[in-house]
Every structure is written in C-alpha cells, then in structure tokens.
Structure 1
Amino acid sequence: MNEKELPFDIMSRLIYRDALMLVIDKPAGMPVHPGPRSGTAKSNETLSDHLDALRFGVPRRPELAHRLDRDTSGCLVLGRHRKALDKLGRLFRSGKVEKTYWAVVEGGPADEAGEIDLPLAPRDPSRGWWMKVDPAGQPALTRWRVLGRGEGLAWLALTPVTGRTHQLRVHCAAAGFPIRGDAIYGHAPRTGGPGLHLHAAALAIPLYPNRAAVRVAAPAPAHMHAALTAAGWRGTMPADTTAETSKA
C-alpha cells in the first residue's frame, strides 16, 4: 500500500517512545491486523500497514504487544524487538499492566463503583470473537467506577482484571448498561450509529525493575466528545480515572 494513500499519519499518533517500546493512539474503526472481516471491507487497510514507519533506526519494525478491537481507540503498545516483545507479553499475560478504559454507557449503574464477575465463552464456535456470559466459560472480572453522569448515560472508568475477548462490552451489556454505539452487544444500528464509545485511556506498565511504572494516556477520540461532555467531561484527563477504588 502506498503510504500517501493512508488516511492518517501514524507518526502523529505516537505518544511514547523508549528503547524497548512504543505506545500509539490507535484510531477507532481500524483493525490492528488483517482478519476475516477485513477482506470484505471497503478498505483492507490495517494498523500493521503503518508499522515500518516506526523503526527509528531499528532493523526490524515494531510489533504488537497486545490487541485492541477494531472499534476501540486508545493506547496500544508495540515492542521494538524480540526481547522487548517477550517481556511485554509476560507483563500483559500476568495482569501486571494496569489498564484503564473510558466508556460511555446507556443508562448506567445505580452505584458509584463495583465489579462485574461473569465468566465468558464463545457464542458460536465458528465465530470465536462473538462472546456470551456462560457459567462454564472462562473467569472474567471487570472493575468499574462512575466518573460522570448525564441524561440517559454514564461515563465509566473500566479496569479489566482479566483479558477476555470483548470482555468490557459483554460485561457492561450483561450488567444492564451497554456501551453506547455497540452494534453487537448493545442497541446501536449495524450502520450509521454513533461509533463504539470505548477508549483505552491509560496504561501503567512496570517495564523496568526498580523504577516507577511507565504511565501513558491517550486523548478521548472526537466521536466520544459530545457524550463525554454531556456526562461532565471538561476536555482533560481527570486526576484519577481508574476503577481501582472498587477493590474489595
């Protein structure tokens, strides 16, 4: 793919860089790599098409240390070489990376903070990404906290303690407050909706021994601004956006 044809400049999306990793602000609507759906899309463009531009003198291009869904925006970590990827992979798999998502949900919880502890399993084995609550599924735990409220909606900080496919989307829907713009688990139309209001807002990555965790944050995407503002957002990152106050 000719880089001039790409709809955005990945360099402008770079929010952190050091010798081991990069963090970029992934746009909503773009898959991180080719998949079954990308072959039928109007454009087969994926984030992977851009990664060569992020070498910064390293012989090999950086690669993904974890994933975000196509319609989720925000902090996405890349490892700059094999050793870095191995280390980052261990941190993500062991749950040592603190992840905070922002979501605007329909309605909202009655309480100000809590947990959703519901196991998840594939709804259809032929579509492994399509999930459901299932007592026989894998354990899944999400912590949440209300950051603001508006008419008919709430702004939440979500912390996925486990990392199941579509965990936050399924958990919010099962708890009675689906994420705004969710055409799979919520009430949004398949086309022409407001876009999924789920954003990987911040990460804390304990990458280096005897040093504080690397903390990064990505600004809220434009398609979420109106709903966030209606729920009390003032255009900046609050001092505390995590859901950790809901720990037992």
Structure 2
Amino acid sequence: MTDNNEIQETLNTESSEKKKDFRIKSFVVRAGRMTEGQIRAIEELGPKYMVDVEDLQPLDIDAIFGRSAPLVVEIGFGMGVSFVQMAKEAPQYNFLGIEVHPPGVGSALKLIEQEKLTNVKVIKFDAFEVLKKCLKPQSVDILQIFFPDPWPKKRHVKRRLINDDFVKLVAPLFKSGGQFRMATDWEDYAVQMLDVLTRAEGFTNTSADGTYIPRPSWRPLTKFEQRGQRLGHGVWDLVFVRD
C-alpha cells in the first residue's frame, strides 16, 4: 500500500518537472478561418508531405526525405510562399518547415503539390519542442527565421523567439559552418537579435561591419515586404555562422 508521504513525494516531483518545462510561448495559435482548399490540402496532402512528431522522438531525416542532403529548417513559414519558392530554387537541399497555424500549413501543402516538389516536408507543431526533442545534434545546415512575431508591446517583449535561451537550445543542432539566417522589419527586434547572437558562444557574424547584411538574393521578396518597402519600412537581415 502506498502511504501519504510517498504520494506527496510523487506530487512534488511532478510539480517540479512541470516547472522545469514551463516557458513563455512565443506564439499564439490564432483561430483563423480556413478555406475549403486549405482543409482539403491537409486531409489529402498531409500524408504525403507532413511529418508526424506527436511522439516527440528523434527524426531520421534521411528516411523522411528518401535521400541524404543538406538540411534547411525554417520556423514559422507563414503561408509558405517564400518557403516553397526557396525549396524550388534549391533542389539540392532538403527543406523542413515548422508552422503551428493550420491555414498556413494548408496553403504550403497546396503550393508544394502544385510545384511537385520532393525536397519539402512540413511539421505542424510547436517548433520549440521539435528543436528540443526531434532534431539530432549537428543535423542542421541552415536554420532560418524570417519576420517572426515582433511582440512590439513592452510587456510582451519577453515572448520574442530569439533570445539567449533559444540560441543555447539550437546551437548544438548546427553542423560546423551551418548558417543561422534571420530577418525582421522591426528595428527594435533587429537590435535584440544582433545583441543576442553577438554574445552567443560559437557563432560568427557574416556582416563585414559586425551588424546587418545587405538584403540577400536567396531570400524571396514577399508581397508583405514589397508593401513595406513602398511605405518606407526597413528590413534587417542577419546571418551568423556556427564555428
């Protein structure tokens, strides 16, 4: 028979583990309306292009793509337009996109099917958990995060994805020489990104002056960014290399 002391010890242990796993979410899953096409894409194309990570076990990337190739991981690809375009223009790479918002996943699946791409897979799950438990050390050649939620209000800045803890999490995933690519149209967030990566051990800025790089040709220009340019909004690109 289990006594009260043993039960209390178990409860204390469980509570301690929950506290260890607690973190402030960098995203909010919005209840955006899905189109019939997006719903159908997830139902019909999901088995072909989506990767199931519900068990949070390490992934066999070569088996998933059916080949061995450099791996690009993109977090938060939105509606998938630029993500799929990059995959189309770089067939020598495997592209793994992580997105939590169902409309974006459905949209990306439709684009992948339209282009008949075989080098793209999609995960609909919390990127933090995927990075922490599903990707193996030294498995990523390029990690890219473009225009993440800036959480502009002062009280929400702590929710931003790019921070010291996040960089410590992803650092072991890079191969030597791997690139960490970022872009934002919020200058305050750009400053934070630059500060965090400059202080991080094992990363070197590719910018000649130690700040930002000119807009790279390999990052497609989105409609959102084009609109920003017309309105005079700035965009800041950063690329750091893993030593």
TM-score normalised by L of structure 2: 0.29
- Higher helix content, 1 or 2: 2
Higher strand share: 1
Which of structures 1 and 2 has the bigger CA Rg? 2
Using the size of structure 1 for normalisation, the TM-score is 0.28
